[in-house]
Chain A
Amino acid sequence: MLAASLANNSSLKWASAIGIFVLLCLCALLFMLHLSVGSKSLGFDTVFNALFNFDPLQFDHVIISQLRVPRAIIAVMVGSSLAVAGAIMQGVTRNPLASPSILGMLSGASFAIVISLSLFGISSPIYTPWIAAIGALFAVVIVFLICLSTSKGINSLNLTLSGAMVSAFLAAITSLFSLLDEENYDQVRVWLTGSLAGNNMEDITLILPWMCGALFISILYCQKITVLAMGDQVAHGLGIKTTRLKFELLAVVVTLTACSVAIAGPMGFVGLVVPHIVRLIVGSDYRWIIPSSALIGAIFLLAVDIAARTIIRPEEIATGVITAMIGAPLFVYLIKMKSAQ
């Protein structure tokens, strides 16, 4: 019995480790594919040479290193960040519907960016992440205040409902401002639907360290999140300072969300759908959920962006449109599958 259960456990660990390795390979493969497709298709050999044997005189190499590599990196980072942010939020609130979009953080961040652009003319990439962070924090604080003001307090239904309301309200004001202010609206129109285009390496390097830091902290905290997901009192009994941990995780989630919105706009559904897929595969242990979410989030957004750039080639569709078009039916399917269990 003992030996059997030990063997079982270690074989499970092997399976999970192999799973992570397969995901890593898939991610690398999609990254290469992402670099090769676009308005002009380039062969894998060109991609390979551009990466490892760069020749500044070859136009294709320049396209890859100047345009496509930044975009692919953004797809990976934004996909990972939003998926991990969603996974953390679902664990902390014990609400499977929590995600940066549903709790109003995406609308909050884009609201703040549009307002600061319209009213103060701030569009520098140095400030946008900070403005986005303030907006995201503002929205999520309002959502929690609304919940606290009701008699039932913070529960799944209240969180989801007030999140949807705050989201809709902030999105309406964002539209109002962007409609009144046509000149600036042109700048943000595509970005507001969620787009990975139009960023250069300098913009990314401003944000990348923050995202990597927040992702790293998420992985350090994953065991605590598992304990916290068992409920406040149980977690407290096991020696976790629950209030402090929640504030720390809020900071992580705000960082991940704000950085994502600052470079790619409010990209919906990634933070909701990916953690759900992940939990179906790996269960409820956040030591597996967090790294898997990061990888599957990256894979999801790479794949979606490949679709966005190939469907109506040589034109391209804003990536956020496709994440919603794929994410929404996928989510309905996941709910159906779960209720069938």
Chain B
Amino acid sequence: MKNINTTPDSSSRLKASKLTAAYGDKVIVDNLNLSIPSKKITALIGPNGCGKSTLLKSLARVLPPTDGSIILDGKNILSHKTQAVARKLGFLPQGPVAPEGLTVKELVSQGRFPHQSLFRQWTSADEQAVLDAMSVAKVDVFSELYVDQLSGGQRQRCWIAMVLAQQTEIVLLDEPTTFLDLKIQVELMDLLATLTHEMGRTLVVVLHELNLATAYADYLVMMKDGEVLHAGDPVTIFTQKTLKQVFDLDADVIIDGNTGHCLCVPHYRYANKKQKRLKKQAC
């Protein structure tokens, strides 16, 4: 039954191979295999505690695996120099907090750190990368303001600009849309889609919003208890049955006639009863 996507993908640059990750004795991700398709948006979804953030941190080499490995460009990621990895792969953790009194431009400039050294200081290429990143993420208008004065959505765009300034082909983002208004969530996802489809970046995003995930993901990964249960095109794997299996959620999956995206419509028990009652009263 476990038709897990170990299908070797020759174009994939980033892979988890027999990955086991744990916090202390608590194993979160167990013997997991996954290839991240290049130049696509991969969305990781699953119930709370399923290990999706842990998997992302392992992929970003921020959390060293207890067993197995992460392979970047055919080599164990931990055998690369960490600063060299930072030129290929950017990572934005969940809910980052900027220090007080840091301006937007200063924050975004930190994304150039992996490209600098004691002997190679700030260059015009660095300056250009920062300006480009700020304009793509639409934070250039407040480049001289303090990050802590901005709204949640604007702040998240600044962090994304920082990762963009890093100019990596692979970008890993942990719940970039959490706690934001729906409109802002959609704007952010549009920004991420631009990065992939117009700028050819490989994105891996942990998402909570199922409908956002199915709308934007080219490759959907459904996780439960530290394992990948399903992975593939959202239209084929995101079904009533898999939702029940992965999330223990009773829901219908409908295909939106306009866009062809899958939509998850949960069975709201009380609300549905109320609807029926209202219908009866109307009769």
**By the criterion of a CB under 8 Å from any partner CB, how many residues of chain B are at the interface?**
39
Which residues from chain B sit less than 8 Å from chain A, CB to CB?
57, 60-62, 81-87, 90-93, 96-103, 105-107, 110-111, 113-114, 116, 118, 127, 131, 140, 143-144, 163, 166
CA of A240 to CA of B166 in the docked complex: distance in angstroms? 14
Q: Name the CB-closest residue of B to A279.
A: B101
Min C-beta distance of B233 to chain A, whole Å: 29
- A234 at the binding interface (Cβ < 8 Å): yes
Other A-B pairs, 18, CB within 8 Å; known A234-B93, A240-B113: A8-B144, A226-B106, A227-B113, A230-B98, A230-B99, A230-B110, A231-B93, A231-B97, A234-B92, A236-B62, A237-B62, A237-B91, A238-B114, A239-B85, A239-B87, A240-B82, A283-B102, A284-B101
The answer to whether A223 and B116 have CB atoms under 8 Å apart is yes
Min C-beta distance of B78 to chain A, whole Å: 11
Q: Which of A199-229 contact B (CB under 8 A)?
A: 220, 223, 226-227, 229
Given known contacts A223-B113, A239-B83, A239-B86, is B96 in contact with A9 (CB within 8 Å)?
no
The answer to whether B118 and A220 have CB atoms under 8 Å apart is yes
The answer to whether A284 and B102 have CB atoms under 8 Å apart is yes
Min C-beta distance of B101 to chain A, whole Å: 4
CA of A5 to CA of B135 in the docked complex: distance in angstroms? 12
The answer to whether A6 and B127 have CB atoms under 8 Å apart is yes
Min C-beta distance of A324 to chain B, whole Å: 26
- A94 at the binding interface (Cβ < 8 Å): yes
Min C-beta distance of B61 to chain A, whole Å: 8
Min C-beta distance of B86 to chain A, whole Å: 3
The answer to whether A233 and B93 have CB atoms under 8 Å apart is yes
The answer to whether B102 and A9 have CB atoms under 8 Å apart is no
Given known contacts A2-B131, A227-B110, A239-B113, is B96 in contact with A234 (CB within 8 Å)?
yes
The answer to whether A226 and B96 have CB atoms under 8 Å apart is no
**Complex A-B: 24 CB contacts under 8 Å:** A1-B140, A5-B105, A6-B127, A220-B118, A226-B110, A227-B113, A230-B96, A230-B107, A230-B110, A233-B91, A233-B93, A233-B96, A237-B86, A238-B86, A238-B166, A239-B81, A239-B86, A239-B114, A240-B82, A240-B83, A283-B103, A284-B102, A284-B106, A285-B102
- A313 at the binding interface (Cβ < 8 Å): no
Q: Which residues of B contact A94 (CB under 8 A)?
A: 99
The answer to whether B101 and A238 have CB atoms under 8 Å apart is no
Given known contacts A227-B113, A239-B83, A239-B114, is B131 in contact with A5 (CB within 8 Å)?
yes
The answer to whether A237 and B90 have CB atoms under 8 Å apart is yes
CA of A204 to CA of B65 in the docked complex: distance in angstroms? 49
CA of A96 to CA of B148 in the docked complex: distance in angstroms? 15
Min C-beta distance of B64 to chain A, whole Å: 11
CA of A233 to CA of B127 in the docked complex: distance in angstroms? 24
CA of A205 to CA of B166 in the docked complex: distance in angstroms? 45
CA of A285 to CA of B163 in the docked complex: distance in angstroms? 18
Q: Which residues of A contact B92 (CB under 8 A)?
A: 234, 237
